[in-house]
Amino acid sequence: MTKRGEPLYKTRPTGPKAARFGWCSRFNDFISMSEGNSNTFLIETPDGNVLINSGMGLEAPVHHSNFSDLAGEIDGTIKFLAVTQGHVDHVGGVQYFRDRNPGLQLIAHANNEEHQSYDGRLAHFRAARSAFRFADAFAETFQSYADAGYTDINPQDRPTADIVFSDRHEFSIGGLDLVLIGQMGAETNDSLIVWLPQHRICFTGNLFGCPFGHFPNMVTIRGDRYRDALTCAQAAQTVLDLEPEVILYGHHAPVVGRDLIQREVTAIRDATLYVHDEVVKGMNAGKDLVTLQQEIEPPPECEVGQGYGMVSWSVRAIWENYAGWFKHQSTTELYTVPQTAIHADLVELAGAEALVVRAGQKAAAGKREEALHLLDIVLSTEPENQTAIALAIEVHDSLLADAQTFCTTGNFWLEGWLEHQIKRLKGAGKSSLTALLK
C-alpha cells in the first residue's frame, strides 16, 4: 500500500448534510439525476430511454416532474428500468413509471424477489427500529413535497421484474451499450452495476454502502442480516477492474476522475480486507471480541470514513458472521434469563444512590460506557430517579459531542441514536428504561 492524498470522505458530505430532496440536474448531455431518498437517473437515447432506480413510491411523481423539466416529455419513452438493489427507496416507484410507459421492462438481479420478500417479512419490525432516525426526517420530506404541490401520495410498489439475470446482462438501445453486472455488495444480495463501456460511466447504487468513501455498514442498527466483508471487498474489486471515469452513486453527488476513483475504491477494498483479516487472525489467536473491537483500525494508507458503518461495529459483525452469538464468557449466554433480571437485587444491595454516585465518578474519569452500565441498572429499577436521569442525559450529551466530530463527518446512526436517547431521557419520568431502549 502507498500513502494517498486527502481521503475524499473528508470533503464529501454525508447523511442529512448532503440531502437535496427534490433537487435535479443534468450530469451530461444524455444523463439526468434526480435526488430523493436515493438517486434516480434517466439515460436518454434516440430510440428510447432507460431509468436507473425509481425512488420510493411517494417520490416517483417528483422524479417524473424533474426528468420532464430536464429532458422534455418522457411519458412513453422509457423502455427499460433497472433497479440496482431491492431496497424500498429504489423499487417503490416502478409502477408509477410503468403506468406512463406501456411495455416498460423492469430489469433486476435474480435475487431481487428474495430480497423484497425478506424486506417485506420484517417491514413492521424494521420500521419501528428505524423510526428513531427517520421519523422526523421523513415528516420533513413529506411536508416539503406537499409544499411543492405533491399532495397525492403515490403508493409504494413491490414490483416483479420482467428480465432477471445472475451474472451479466447486456443490451443496446439507440447506439448506447449497457452492461449490467450482478454483484452482491454492502447492502443487499441482489445488487447490480450498470456499466456504460463507451463512456466509462458506472452506476453502482449503494454497492459500497450508503455514502461513498466510507467503511461498509456490515451491521445495521435498524436490524438487517449481516453483510459479508469478503463480498464487500469483491464488490470494490469488480468496480476497480472496470476502471470507470465516473461513478454515479446511489446517494449524493457523482464521483468523477479515474485516478480518484481508483484510489478511493482501493482504500475501501483494502480497509475492508484489513479489518476482516485482523478479526480472523485475532479469533485464531484466542483474543476476545471486545479486545478486537478496541484494537482494530485500518492503517492510514487505507483510511476511509466511518459516517455510516463503523469499524468497531463491523468487527463484531464479522466475528458473529463466522462464529455466532455465543462468546464462551458466561453460562448465562446459553439460557433465557437476561442480566436485567438481577438489576433490582443490585439496587437493593448497593443502593440506588451509591450506584449513581459511582456512575458519576466513572463519567468524570472518562469511563462513560461504564457509567451507562451502572445507570442502566438504576433506571431499570427506578425509571423516575431524577438524579440518574440527569446524569444519563449528561453522559449522552458528552457522547453526542464526540460522535458529531467522529472521523471528521460524524456517524449517521450513532448521532441519531444518541439524539433520540437524550429526547427520551428528558421524558423518562413518564416511561421506563425498557421504553427508553426501544
This prediction has a pTM of 0.93
**In the structure, what pLDDT confidence band is assigned to residue 229 with cuts at 50, 70 and 90?**
very high
Spatial strand order in the sheet of 246-249: 168-173, 176-182, 192-196, 201-205, 246-249, 255-256
| Percent of the chain predicted with pLDDT > 90 | 86
Sheet strands (E) in 166-301: 168-173, 176-182, 192-196, 201-205, 246-249, 255-256
**In the structure, what pLDDT confidence band is assigned to residue 407 with cuts at 50, 70 and 90?**
confident
DSSP assignment of 95-136, as one string?
A: HHHHHHSTT-EEEEETTHHHHHHHHHHTHHHHHHHHHHHHHH
Q: pLDDT tens across 56-106, in order?
A: 999 999 999 999 999 999 999 999 999 999 999 999 999 999 999 999 999
| Average pLDDT of every residue of the chain | 93
Residue 436 has pLDDT above 60, yes or no: no
Residue 244 has pLDDT above 50, yes or no: yes
pLDDT of residue 4: 66
Residue 181 has pLDDT above 80, yes or no: yes
Q: Average of pLDDT values for 178-185?
A: 97
Q: Average of pLDDT values for 171-189?
A: 97
Amino acid, single-letter form, for residue 150 = Y
Q: pLDDT tens across 309-323, in order?
A: 999 999 999 999 999
User: Helix (H, G, I), strand (E, B), or coil: what is residue 332?
Assistant: helix
Q: Delimit the domains of the chain by residue range.
A: 8-268, 336-436
pLDDT of residue 116: 97
pLDDT of residue 14: 74
Q: pLDDT tens across 123-135, in order?
A: 999 999 999 988 8
Superfamily the domain 8-268 falls into? Ribonuclease Z/Hydroxyacylglutathione hydrolase-like (3.60.15.10)
Burial of 388 (0-12, 13-18, 19+ CB in 10 A): buried
**In the structure, what pLDDT confidence band is assigned to residue 141 with cuts at 50, 70 and 90?**
confident
Residue 217 has pLDDT above 50, yes or no: yes
pLDDT of residue 429: 43
User: Pseudo-torsion of CA 257, 260, 261, 262, nearest 10°?
Assistant: 120
**In the structure, what pLDDT confidence band is assigned to residue 3 with cuts at 50, 70 and 90?**
low
Q: Is the model more confident about 408 or about 366?
A: 366
The region, left, alpha or beta by phi > 0 then psi within -120 to 50, assigned to residue 328 is left
Q: Which grid coordinates are listed for 122?
A: 420484517
Listed in sequence order, the residues at least 6 apart from 16 whose beta carbon sits closer than 8 Å to its beta carbon are 137, 412
Q: Which grid coordinates are listed for 83?
A: 433497479
pLDDT of residue 430: 44
Q: pLDDT tens across 329-382, in order?
A: 999 999 999 999 999 999 999 999 999 999 999 999 999 999 999 999 999 999
Q: Average of pLDDT values for 16-28?
A: 81
**In the structure, what pLDDT confidence band is assigned to residue 137 with cuts at 50, 70 and 90?**
confident
Q: Average of pLDDT values for 49-58?
A: 96
pLDDT of residue 437: 38
Residue 221 has pLDDT above 60, yes or no: yes
